[in-house]
Amino acid sequence: MVIRLFQIIKRSEITTLKKTINMLIAIFLALVTVAIFLAILGYNPLSVYASMLDGAFGSNYRIKQTIVNTIPLVITSLGILIAFKMKFWNIGAEGQILIGGFCGGYFAYNFAYWPKPILLLVMLIAGFIGGGLWGLLAGYLKTRWHASEAITTLMMNYIALKWIVYLQFGPWKDPNAFGYPTMSRFAENAIFPKLFGVHIGWIIALVLVVAVHIFMTRTKKGFEIAVIGESENTGRYAGINIKRTMLLAIFLSGALCGLSGIIQASAVNNILSSTLANGLGYTAIITTWLAHLNAPLTLVVCFLFAVLTQGGSFIQTAMGIPSSVATVLQAMILFFVLGSELFNNYKIVRKNKQQKEVK
Amino acid sequence: MDNHTAYIEMVGITKTFGKVIANHDINLQVEKGEIHALLGENGAGKSTLMNMLSGIYTPDSGEIYLEGKKVSFNSPKDSIDAGIGMVHQHFKVIEVMTAAENVLLGQKGGILFKKEEKKKIAEISERYHLQVELDKVVNDMSVGEKQNLEILKVLYRGEKILILDEPTAVLTPQETEKLFQIMRRMKENGCAVLFISHKMNEVMEITDRVTVLRKGTTIKTLNTKETNPQELTELMVGHKMDLSIERVEQERGDLALKVSDLTVVANDGHQKLKNVAFELYFGEILGVAGIAGSGQKELCEAIAGLQEVKSGEIMFKGENLAKLTPRKIIELGIHMSFVPEDRLGMGLVAGMDMVDNLLLKKYQKQKGLFLDKKPAIEQAQKITDELEIVTPGISNYPVKNLSGGNIQKVLLGRELDLSPEVLVTAYPVRGLDINTCHKIYDLLNESKKDMVAVLFINEDLDVLIDLCDRIMVLSNGEVIDVVDAHNITKEEIGLMMLGKRVKGGDSVVSNN
């Protein structure tokens, strides 16, 4: 007969402080685990971590680079946040980013002669609406036929990706690129200006953090989205128009991702390409989740993740260590933090009494 | 203790969940061949105690003895091996299998080709007068049959101790009587039956001894013959208590709701309501009786606009509710509170705090884009005080962490505070303690005095008869009759619940 020495017991309450400590311990353990992994590969983990930090903060340029990495992650995470709050599992940010880039890019390529402020504004709006509509497709399938959004949004990523690849190899191919399959660079007119050395996307990101936070916590629509997320039935019962609210939230979710796409294409890449999203839409799922669907926290988490990404690409050039170390670390942190949440709700205690045999 | 050993003895049992002490130093002795009631309000610790006896929980401290030998259960299997069987409130049977398969499931040798075993099952079934058709698929069984099957499972395993957790909550009076006969037969065969209930009259009728629990402690064990409901209630509640339910006698007002020819068909094609027709007047409480699943839920939801209606009308002030959206219906002043079995399925947002839950029915009337939480905070404080809701806080404390009774108070408090014109309330006292039940009956009476039209759906027929003006009986989605609550008996309603129209139509209230 099995004798259990430990028992899992439900915790009654837990303070925010304790939750934070739990989370920090989890991050620390993730770092330790990856350190072991690095040591096995024959690197000195401490110096790898140190040069990652150096890569992220070591110079003015590097700090700016870290911030540039933060911007699309924040905006995309905010988009995902709105959908996740409603328990609509939008994992289609990747595709929405691409379509946002495509819709904004359409104006960048065709109307470069417009006055700059007007062109940029139209590009933003086009990216916003484009990403939103792309998301809305999955939303429609969900509300109309209960199609699982986890599947539809994911599959639509590939449609979006292939569409951009098609443009890149076909109709939008740059004729002056000597046959190389690439689109042409955006005209100067279609590139977002810089403020304090970083493209103005950072202002947009900060404004959006505040806006989304207010929207989710202080407005009626945000409240309705949260209610639907908790229980669709209760929403119906309270007289919420479920379909309309759902579609609105999904549109906004996709729209923010699309916005992030066009900003990235214009301000950072200066070109539309099939590598625009490049996993951003998936990383943003992790950051959104780690931030507990809280907009201000999203900013913090995204910044930390940008540090990892920036540090990761630095060690690749500086030490010849694959930048995937950073990705491994990100995934590890997610695992440990998710695992640590068990301890927010339960505690493990040692059984004080020896168990006796039955009969 | 030296010359007499009890069959089951639980000594000094303590069990805590987080900060909540569910059982504190509980002692219980059960003899062979007795029916022993565990009586206590919700949250008194009855189910926790029984779950420890059946091995689902392990006690933090304390000992369990069977026939004088100390035992320790680490899993339900240990407990089953020791001869203890439990029938839970929610049946643990496989719906798509036959009765015989369910019985053999988990037994040595599996469930296939078992002629001899089947014979043995039939024998036991015969001996205890359990009415179970062995080849019938569980899906096609009535609630009573399923319960019999659960008991059969226990008996087949040769268990000598049977724990019944509120077995009568789902039964009609007639089915209850049959269950009691089975229990008596088990007693004659030397089994010990532990009967968990908070229905006083049943405890008085069937049990030999009663152990009363209150707030996790043993209050007293008494011989049923030497006590009475009044004494038991006092022990259970902890103070003197008037058990009678008052009915406010007043002239009813104008017609509020006129339902005619209402038919609702579920997605699977089953008719949930068949040509339902009735009238509800302002200033009256119309009770609805029926076996669980007879169309109560569909009726509530149809009135609230949540259920698609195939045909028929629900007229209120010249408007047909069947054609309006839920929001429009709420605006008309019709409020519904439905307390489902899990208490949280509808009406409340489990993960949100009380303020947000009250806001849920308020925010739509607010102007502009933004939420104003202030009125909801004030309302939350008011309801907390008035209904004595026990909560660590009205904000930042998810309602799902409140106890069941408190959750229901939040739900009902919110609906009543909206000063509705029509109040539809289903199972508002489900699982509540006596004190709170009576508080809620009072609230319903208050509403009636304020000339609210109340449609009150409830399981407890005694309460319906005492509280309501008229009672409508549903059976299989049909209205069997609408009767005057002043001169009808529980048995008559019970028969109607089974679909039999009671003779002597003079009890019928004319419906025009």
For chain B, which residues make up each domain, given as ranges? 8-237, 244-333+420-512, 345-419
Chain A within 8 Å of B82 (Cβ-Cβ)? yes
Nearest to B370 among A9, A218, A236 (CB): A218
| Rounded distance between C-alpha atoms, residue B225 and residue B209, angstroms | 8
pLDDT of residue A1: 41
Are the beta carbons of B369 and A4 separated by less than 8 Å? Answer: no
Distance, in angstroms, between A243 CA and closest chain B CA? 13
CB A199 within 8 A of CB A64: no
Task: Give phi and psi for A264, each to the nearest 5.
Answer: -65, -45
Q: What share of chain B is helix, strand, coil (3-state, %, to 5)?
A: 35, 25, 40
Which amino acid is present at A334? Answer: L
Mean pLDDT score, A323-331:
83
| Rounded distance between C-alpha atoms, residue B356 and residue B377, angstroms | 9
pLDDT of residue A64: 92
| Rounded distance between C-alpha atoms, residue A83 and residue A136, angstroms | 11
| Rounded distance between C-alpha atoms, residue A185 and residue A175, angstroms | 12
Distance, in angstroms, between B251 CA and closest chain A CA? 32
Helix and strand counts by DSSP (H, E) for chain B:
16, 20
Are the beta carbons of A1 and B326 separated by less than 8 Å? Answer: no
Question: Does residue B9 register a pLDDT over 50?
Answer: yes
CB B130 within 8 A of CB B183: no
CB B243 within 8 A of CB B230: yes
Q: In sequence order, what are the beta bridge partners of B38?
A: B196, B211
Question: Does residue B478 register a pLDDT over 50?
Answer: yes
Mean pLDDT score, A92-104:
95
Neighbours of B446 (CB within 10 A): 12
Nearest to B326 among A3, A218, A237 (CB): A237
Count the alpha carbons within 13 Å of A33 in the hemisphere toward its beta carbon: 16
- Tens digit of each residue's pLDDT (9 = 90 or more) over B255-268: 888 998 999 987 77
Using a CB-CB cut-off of 8 Å, the residues of chain A touching B350 are: 230-231
Question: Does residue B397 register a pLDDT over 60?
Answer: yes
Nearest to A237, CA basis, from B319, B366, B348? B348
- Tens digit of each residue's pLDDT (9 = 90 or more) over B370-385: 888 888 888 888 888 8
Q: Which residue has the tokens 């979006």?
A: A160
CB B172 within 8 A of CB B143: no
Using a CB-CB cut-off of 8 Å, the residues of chain B touching A230 are: 349-352
Q: Which residue has the tokens 């009125």?
A: B375
- From residue B382, alpha-carbon distances to B337, B358, B385, B417 in Å are 19, 11, 5, 10
Nearest to B407, CA basis, from B463, B352, B467? B352
Q: B interface mutation test: which of A13, A86, A234 has the most B CBs within 10 A?
A: A234
Residue A190 DSSP label: G
Using a CB-CB cut-off of 8 Å, the residues of chain B touching A227 are: 349, 352, 360
Chain A within 8 Å of B342 (Cβ-Cβ)? no
Using a CB-CB cut-off of 8 Å, the residues of chain B touching A10 are: 17-18
Are the beta carbons of B72 and A357 separated by less than 8 Å? Answer: yes
Nearest to A222, CA basis, from A289, A295, A149? A295
pLDDT of residue B339: 65
| Rounded distance between C-alpha atoms, residue A313 and residue A48, angstroms | 12
Residue of B nearest to A354 (CA): B72
Report the run of H or E that residue B424 belongs to, with start and end: strand B422-426
User: In terms of DSSP H, where are the helices of chain A?
Assistant: 16-40, 45-57, 60-85, 93-110, 116-145, 149-169, 201-218, 220-230, 232-237, 242-263, 280-290, 295-319, 324-340, 342-345
Dihedral, CA atoms, B343, B344, B348, B354, nearest 10 degrees?
80
Are the beta carbons of B18 and A13 separated by less than 8 Å? Answer: yes
Are the beta carbons of A223 and B356 separated by less than 8 Å? Answer: yes
* A263 alpha carbon, distance to own chain's centre: 15
Instruction: Give the domain B244-333+420-512 fold.
Output: Rossmann fold (3.40.50)
How many A-B residue pairs are in contact by the CB < 8 A criterion? Answer: 93
| Rounded distance between C-alpha atoms, residue A223 and residue A219, angstroms | 6
CB A56 within 8 A of CB A307: yes
| Rounded distance between C-alpha atoms, residue A55 and residue A58, angstroms | 6
Question: Does residue B504 register a pLDDT over 60?
Answer: no
Q: Which residue has the tokens 């004030």?
A: B378
When pLDDT is cut at 50, 70 and 90, the band that residue B508 belongs to is very low
**Maximum average pLDDT range among B37-41, B278-282, B367-371:** B278-282
Report the run of H or E that residue B264 belongs to, with start and end: strand B255-265
**Maximum average pLDDT range among A47-51, A97-101, A229-233, B124-128:** A97-101
- Tens digit of each residue's pLDDT (9 = 90 or more) over B181-236: 888 988 888 889 999 887 778 888 889 999 998 888 888 898 988 888 888 888 88
> Do the bridges between strand B20-30 and strand B35-39 make them parallel or antiparallel, or are there none, so unpaired?
unpaired
In CATH, which superfamily holds the domain spanning B8-237? P-loop containing nucleotide triphosphate hydrolases (3.40.50.300)
Dihedral, CA atoms, B75, B78, B84, B89, nearest 10 degrees?
20
pTM for this one? 0.74
pLDDT of residue A110: 92
Distance, in angstroms, between B82 CA and closest chain A CA? 8
Using a CB-CB cut-off of 8 Å, the residues of chain B touching A5 are: none
| Rounded distance between C-alpha atoms, residue B67 and residue A146, angstroms | 57
Task: Give phi and psi for B12, each to the nearest 5.
Answer: 55, 40
Q: Which residue has the tokens 């259970």?
A: B236
Using a CB-CB cut-off of 8 Å, the residues of chain B touching A13 are: 18-19, 392
CB A231 within 8 A of CB B350: yes
CB B87 within 8 A of CB B167: yes
Quote the tokens at residue B94.
Answer: 């496989």
Task: Write the Ramachandran bin of B215: left for phi over 0, alpha for psi from -120 to 50, otherwise beta.
Answer: left
pLDDT of residue B404: 67
Are the beta carbons of A227 and B352 separated by less than 8 Å? Answer: yes
Question: Does residue B152 register a pLDDT over 70?
Answer: yes
What is the average pLDDT value for chain A, to the nearest integer? 88
More confident residue, B40 or A135: A135
Nearest to B72 among A233, A237, A358 (CB): A358
Using a CB-CB cut-off of 8 Å, the residues of chain A touching B326 are: 236-239
pLDDT of residue B346: 66
pLDDT of residue A161: 94
| Rounded distance between C-alpha atoms, residue A315 and residue A55, angstroms | 7
When pLDDT is cut at 50, 70 and 90, the band that residue B396 belongs to is confident
Nearest to B357, CA basis, from B376, B338, B336, B333? B376
Using a CB-CB cut-off of 8 Å, the residues of chain A touching B346 are: 231, 233-234, 237
Are the beta carbons of A234 and B349 separated by less than 8 Å? Answer: yes
Residue B64 DSSP label: E
Residue of A nearest to B15 (CA): A9
Quote the tokens at residue A11.
Answer: 């915790």
Count the alpha carbons within 13 Å of A114 in the hemisphere toward its beta carbon: 17
When pLDDT is cut at 50, 70 and 90, the band that residue A351 belongs to is low
All structural domains of chain A, each given as residue ranges with its CATH number in brackets, are: 1-42+346-359 (no CATH), 72-321 (1.10.3470)
Count the alpha carbons within 13 Å of B362 in the hemisphere toward its beta carbon: 22
| Interface residues on A facing B, Cβ-Cβ cutoff 8 A | 1-4, 7, 9-13, 218-221, 223, 226-227, 230-231, 233-234, 236-241, 353, 355-359
Residue A173 DSSP label: B
